[in-house]
């Protein structure tokens, strides 16, 4: 917890929050992969101190594989020491790889069945959010599921304080999300037991849907 707060104070833009996610949000984020029967390839992006990683590791079985991508080297070291070393010692046959770099540059190849994404999209310029979505969707097989989270009401609360360009960015992000929802199956689950309360947003990738969703956001 202290490590997370310290990194948030150092760089709130990429850390995105002052507190790690709660175990309740972590379970909501990983519901589908925990219920999945059969082999699965999982990608986790932005694990921070690892609340979602801990749930994912618990759900890994014999033929599964996990890639983790984290930009902040302090969080990477923490993950290695606190979670990954012990897991690898007990399950040497299950590949778990940690990539200490930005998702934009990580050397990954599809096809993943699940993407668990902890990135703070509300802090990113829209073009970066769109290019990361594009990257993640390219890495997913058709029918795969991506789950990300966002704090409840965060954009409405921010709007009065961010000026007109900030409000324009919020409006464009909302439009991008609506176009994503038209092209894919999107569901949201409110988790009150988190600081602050958050929605886990699940997107099931439809074939060709991502191109359509980009087409419909090009115009503004
Ligand atoms: C909001 S924190 C979430 C941490 C954790 N998943 C949780 O819920 O407590 C966002 C995390 O994303 C990481 N991050 C930010 N930008 C990134 C990028 N471009 N590629 C990979 N990780 C990134 C940050 O370092 C941070 O660990």
178-182, 185-189, 198-202: the lowest-pLDDT one: 178-182
Give 47 Cα–ligand 1 centroid separation in angstroms: 6
Q: Ligand 1 — pocket residues by CB below 6 A? A: 14-17, 20-21, 45-48, 51-52, 69-72, 75, 102-104, 118-120
Q: Are 24 and 17 in contact (CB under 8 A)?
A: no
| pLDDT top residue among 163 and 60 | 60
Of ligand 1's listed atoms, the one at least distance from the Cα of 69 is: 21
Q: What is the pLDDT of residue 209?
A: 62
Q: What is the pLDDT of residue 220?
A: 31
Q: What is the pLDDT of residue 218?
A: 45
Atom 9 of ligand 1 has which residue's CA nearest to it? Answer: 20
Q: What is the pLDDT of residue 215?
A: 53
Percent of the chain residues topping a pLDDT of 70: 94
Q: Are 184 and 209 in contact (CB under 8 A)?
A: yes
| pLDDT top residue among 214 and 17 | 17
Give 25 Cα–ligand 1 centroid separation in angstroms: 15
Q: Are 204 and 185 in contact (CB under 8 A)?
A: yes
Q: Are 213 and 178 in contact (CB under 8 A)?
A: no
How far is the C-alpha of 126 from the C-alpha of 148, rounded, in Å?
A: 16
Tell me the best of 3, 54, 71 to mutate to test the pocket of ligand 1, counting ligand atoms within 8 Å of each CB and taking the most: 71
Q: Is 146 helix (H, G, I), strand (E, B) or coil?
A: strand
Q: In the predicted model, is pLDDT for residue 69 greater than 90? A: yes
Of ligand 1's listed atoms, the one at least distance from the Cα of 20 is: 9
Give 64 Cα–ligand 1 centroid separation in angstroms: 23
Q: What is the pLDDT of residue 180?
A: 84
Q: In the predicted model, is pLDDT for residue 85 greater than 50? A: yes
How far is the C-alpha of 122 from the C-alpha of 158, rounded, in Å?
A: 10
- The total of other beta-carbon atoms located within 10 Å of residue 157's CB is 11
Per the prediction, the chain carries an average pLDDT of 90
Note if the pTM is more than 0.85. yes
Atom 24 of ligand 1 has which residue's CA nearest to it? Answer: 15
Ordered structural domains, the chain, with CATH: 2-215 (3.40.50.150)
Tell me the best of 8, 14, 21, 148 to mutate to test the pocket of ligand 1, counting ligand atoms within 8 Å of each CB and taking the most: 14
Q: Is 98 helix (H, G, I), strand (E, B) or coil?
A: strand
Q: In the predicted model, is pLDDT for residue 42 greater than 60? A: yes
Nearest residue to 150 via CA among 202, 106, 93: 202
Work out the pLDDT band at 216, boundaries 50, 70, 90.
low
Work out the pLDDT band at 176, boundaries 50, 70, 90.
confident
| E-strand stretches of 78-191 | 96-99, 112-117, 140-151, 185-191
**Token pair of 117, please?**
């994404």
Q: What is the pLDDT of residue 178?
A: 86
End-to-end CA distance of the chain: 40
């Amino acid at each position: 917890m202290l490590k997370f707060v310290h990194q948030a104070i150092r760089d709130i833009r990429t850390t995105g929050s002052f507190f790690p996610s709660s175990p309740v949000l972590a379970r909501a984020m990983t519901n589908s992969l925990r219920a999945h029967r059969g082999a699965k390839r999982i990608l986790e992006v932005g694990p921070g101190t690892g609340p979602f990683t801990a749930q994912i590791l618990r759900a890994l079985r014999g033929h599964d594989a996990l890639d983790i991508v984290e930009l902040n080297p302090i969080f990477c070291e923490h993950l290695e020491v606190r979670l990954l070393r012990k897991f690898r010692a007990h399950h040497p046959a299950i590949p778990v790889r940690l990539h200490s770099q930005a998702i934009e540059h990580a050397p990954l190849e599809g096809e993943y069945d699940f993407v668990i994404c902890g990135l703070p999209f509300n802090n990113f310029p829209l073009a970066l959010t769109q290019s990361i979505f594009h990257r993640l969707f390219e890495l997913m097989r058709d029918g795969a599921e991506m789950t990300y989270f966002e704090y409840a009401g965060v954009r409405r609360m921010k709007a009065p304080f961010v000026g007109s360009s900030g409000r324009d960015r919020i409006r464009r992000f909302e439009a991008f999300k609506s176009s994503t929802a038209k092209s894919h199956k999107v569901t949201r689950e409110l988790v009150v037991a988190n600081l602050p309360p958050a929605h886990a947003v699940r997107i099931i990738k439809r074939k060709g849907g991502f191109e359509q969703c980009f087409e419909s956001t090009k115009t503004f």
